[in-house]
Structure 1
């Protein structure tokens, strides 16, 4: 049973890593008033670019760089549409996701052929001596790849730097609560919103690269399979706070891992039901059944100077 719990914990954390990365940027973006449903598209584009860059160069590090650049391009499109042109953020997000799915599917056919990416250079696990032997936590936290450890570091840095007690965190919250007043106080509202959307593009692209280069070492159609949407839901379930959002990501990751560990735990539940379990929990979180929460007042509200 101990080995099964170790496997469940390790699987849950491994599946939560992309969620942690993507939600770290999305949390700041939503606090600043911009909802990026396009996180899914940013992740998928990053996964494709990461695999393509790694395969072309023979270097996983180059693949990560290519992923970040691709994610920033998608994020720039989202920022132009939602911040500059003040388009509906929900519509633009869904549209970008559809474009990313179709574009990466078509590009994968051209770049990799009908057989898919196959095996591309990636990141192998780097177990930490001694620490990896700690029951439950050891296999979960200290047998990650280099990109996995980097994901933990990026998530922690953004959580601390974007805290509500920091200058940056206060500026983000001011823009997300009342953009007009923030503008009158001298805060560059559009610059702040552009910045957090681009940051979301970078973290989401890293999340996609984590899937492609650390988890499967390849790329396939719709590799992200809705993980980006779960990252957005994790922010809502976490009530727009960093540490609860992280816990939501770990919860969703463990729910996904449960479908693989259920037989060993003696849980005789159908595979399709276990597959849908994370999305059921996500629905409960969005519905408010996990507790009341208040979204930033200016979330999805376009900023128009002088209003």
Structure 2
């Protein structure tokens, strides 16, 4: 395998991994607070659709990003109301929200983005950082992103620092995720903090959808996320709810996604289904407990019933 081919795989892998990493970072905060946001697939899909629609309507890629985040937050409000306020089953909420998002975006694309309106929309161009972009293999992948791509990486870094397990915000979230009842007795506003976690996950999911649509694909297609939201949830599990682990998991998914297209082009005879299956095999291994490290928050998916 030539150096150019390896560089291309890493570059394509980074493009695939950044939206997943951003969504997974927000998802990890929500899960650490005890709320499983399984609707991440639908949030990313709505973020992608809304960002393209807004960019095509206004002629501004920045307006598309704002619209994508707003769409994610709207789904977040719905999720927070159902899962936190009304204590509905979080898994059922996620499945229903994803189905709703797929139907809405498919119908919306056929009505509002007909006749190719969703193609060639205002998007973000690559920004190549001098010298750093010329680094072998990793240079183009890390330092040849769009402005929105760099913004997404900055958001990931900020969330990782602010909600670190060593900060007060991170300690409070972890306390609620591990024992919500005891945390409530200490005076923590459990439901408010859980809502905050859900909204952070929804906002990052919407931004991730906008990144995918306006930085990578530069258009919208039906079901264009193709399971990336689920991979974000998987990355949190495989990463054992740690930032470092989530980064490693998303990079693996990114490279695996790139290999789906690179290996057939190289003439390597590996079944396509095997490459698609690999991320989920890693997730199963992690869930089964074969990957060491931190376990899932004890109160994940468990509704908070107050100080009883």
TM-score scaled by length of structure 2: 0.96
The Cα shift of 1:275 comes to 3.3
Whole-Å Cα distance in 1 between the matches of residues 24 and 221 of structure 2? 23
Cα RMSD (Å): 1.5
The Cα shift of 1:115 comes to 4.5
1:195 equivalent in structure 2: 196
The Cα shift of 1:124 comes to 1.3
1:176–1:298: 8 Å Cα contact kept in structure 2? yes
Whole-Å Cα distance in 1 between the matches of residues 166 and 102 of structure 2? 38
1:166 equivalent in structure 2: 167
1:130 equivalent in structure 2: 131
Counterpart secondary structure, 2:91: helix
State the Cα deviation string for residues 137-156 of structure 1 (Å, max 9, x = none).
Answer: 10110010111111111111
Counterpart secondary structure, 1:128: coil
The Cα shift of 1:112 comes to 0.8
1:85 equivalent in structure 2: 86
Matched, 1:69 2:70: yes
Matched, 1:12 2:10: no
Matched, 1:267 2:268: yes
State the Cα deviation string for residues 116-142 of structure 1 (Å, max 9, x = none).
Answer: 622211111111111000001101100
> Structure 2: any 5+ residue segments left out of the alignment?
none
1:304 equivalent in structure 2: 305
2:179–2:299: 8 Å Cα contact kept in structure 1? yes
Whole-Å Cα distance in 1 between the matches of residues 230 and 94 of structure 2? 11
> Structure 1: any 5+ residue segments left out of the alignment?
none
The Cα shift of 1:36 comes to 0.4
Residue-pair matches, total: 307
2:230 equivalent in structure 1: 229
2:132–2:139: 8 Å Cα contact kept in structure 1? yes
The Cα shift of 1:268 comes to 2.1
Counterpart secondary structure, 2:276: helix
2:176 equivalent in structure 1: 175
The Cα shift of 1:260 comes to 1.9
The Cα shift of 1:264 comes to 5.7
Counterpart secondary structure, 2:49: helix
State the Cα deviation string for residues 64-87 of structure 1 (Å, max 9, x = none).
Answer: 000111100001000000000000
1:116–1:220: 8 Å Cα contact kept in structure 2? no
Mean CA deviation greater in 279-288 or 179-188? 279-288
The Cα shift of 1:181 comes to 1.1
Counterpart secondary structure, 2:118: coil
Matched, 1:96 2:93: no
Whole-Å Cα distance in 1 between the matches of residues 19 and 292 of structure 2? 25
